[in-house]
Chain A
């Protein structure tokens, strides 16, 4: 699979170029529109300005929602990691009755449409008197991002040589010491990649959060969706551009350390 595209493969090159344009076009349009000096969406426009970036600073609800999404993503990714690391080690290193069923249960949020999870959690949290609560939202996000961490932990743990841990044990290390000094350091790259992917998935999540978040706990995607449902203005474009730039930074980190294809398909 190492031959390059040769000259007579120009139809493939043209196809690739068209595909890249298709992938980039909607993002580029958002970035361009965000620099308009008009009060409405206009393309092409005459004057470029930072007007709509200053407008973000005058929109405290968007800024609050941004910090809330950031905190929610960090909390959910951390909780999911705490739950997924031991479970992932059990699945990767032990053969036990019910192992497949357990893996299925832990990955199940990937199979359930988020709109279904959203209404199920809205009903459940309402019944236990926790609707609109911060902890309910955090719990909901924790379970939906847990599969992403689990896949990467299992992949990292499966990949490493168990004889290292056995060697440490035979030299007299206790179970806890083996975990802390040998096993954990070896799976840390998988855990870190998993945390980051979990964070991004929580930060971007809209469909479930629409049902679970209250007016007081609106996340940024929910705030943006409610704004779009009302009106589409350049403020959305400038907020989106900020998100695109921030995501690009995370993307480059993930690509540099893991490879985007590996981390996204859960194989880092």
Chain B
């Protein structure tokens, strides 16, 4: 093959690469730079370099609370998504083809509907005048409305709804790779259905659970619309704080520093977990 042929893949991917460098990589690097400038109230970005915003984030109780809430929320949402998403993926694999097709649309379809619409639905369900409270009051189960809007629980429930399809999707994909013969072999050797599930099926879908969990965790930690609408002003998370610093206080350097910290944590968790999954896969399938 001549040189022209060897350069072909580079030419083919050059336009996409340039777009990514110009509109993703460069802006991110500039944001990192922005986070090192001092903030001057009124004019915005000052002169000189400073680490003051990072020191503020590291020292200030206010930011600790916000980061702890964000990642605590993301962990809880991920755990609930594993608890309900894994069994749901398993049920889907056991349905007759017709029911499965219909159920797939119900379970995965919401991913295509705007998060604003889905969160609006939860706002209508969870409010003091909302459907859930009205129903419970009418049934006489409670005497006064339970507060669910603007609470941690409310945000977690809505986020689980927004993100659980990713978990079902990931586990479903690894269930597809499962060899039915392994289950039959276990059953023929006398294992009951619970044993087959626990000892044969579940170990084989763990990679799917981990990759689904990773997606859910990263998206939960960076979710904006749902915490903003259901959580409101008082229940701040990192993304809503970045929004307030940028568009409310016009403190762009602090907003950029918060964004840099969020990005580093999310990337570290994602890449770390990815490496872990890859290592496990190697051990299992060598």
Contacts and interface: CB of A to CB of B under 8 A. Distances in A.
Q: Do A and B interact?
A: yes
Interface of A: 1-5, 9, 12-13, 15-16, 19-20, 22-30, 33, 41, 43-44, 82-84, 86-87, 89-91, 94, 96, 99, 102, 105-106, 108-109, 111-117, 119-124, 127, 139-140, 142-143, 146, 150, 200, 203-204, 206-207, 210-211, 220-221, 224-225, 228-229, 232, 236-237, 240, 243-244, 247-248, 250-252, 254-255, 259-261, 264-265, 267
Given A41-B129, A200-B112, A206-B225, A5 B173 contact: no
B224 interface: yes
Interface string B1-26: 00000101110110111011111111
Contact of A99 (B9, B173, B252): B9
Interface residues of B, number: 92
Contacts of B243: 115, 210
A36 to B, nearest CB: 11
Given A9-B94, A236-B120, 20 more contacts: A12-B90, A16-B95, A16-B103, A19-B84, A20-B103, A84-B16, A86-B12, A86-B13, A113-B239, A115-B222, A115-B262, A116-B263, A119-B252, A120-B27, A124-B27, A203-B114, A232-B120, A237-B120, A244-B113, A259-B104
B106 A260 contact: no
A121 B27 contact: yes
B101 A255 contact: yes
Contacts of B19: 83, 139, 142-143, 146
SS class, residues of chain B in contact with chain A: helix
Interface in B29-86: 30-31, 34, 84
Given A19-B107, A143-B23, A261-B108, A225 B31 contact: no
Nearest to A101: B17
A115 B225 CA distance: 10
Contact of B117 (A91, A146, A240): A240
Contact of A247 (B112, B120, B129, B131): B112
A105 B31 contact: no
B114 A221 contact: yes
Closest 6 CB pairs of A and B: A26-B121, A113-B222, A90-B9, A120-B27, A124-B27, A90-B12
Nearest to B160: A22
Nearest to B93: A1
A1 B175 contact: yes
Nearest to A82: B15
Contacts of B117: 27, 30, 224, 240, 243-244
9 contacts: A22-B161, A84-B16, A112-B24, A139-B19, A146-B20, A224-B116, A225-B229, A237-B120, A247-B109
Contact of A206 (B114, B161, B255): B114
Given A102-B17, A109-B24, A119-B31, A114 B120 contact: no
Contacts of A108: 20, 24-25
Contacts, number: 280
Nearest to A20: B106
A184 to B, nearest CB: 13
B17 A106 contact: yes
Given A87-B16, A111-B267, A260-B104, A25 B112 contact: no
Contact of A120 (B8, B20, B218, B259): B259
Nearest to A149: B16
Contacts of B13: 86-87, 90-91, 102, 106
Interface in B87-136: 87-88, 90-91, 93-96, 101, 103-118, 120-125, 129-131, 134
A30 B110 CA distance: 13
Nearest to B23: A143
A106 B130 CA distance: 43
A228 B123 contact: yes
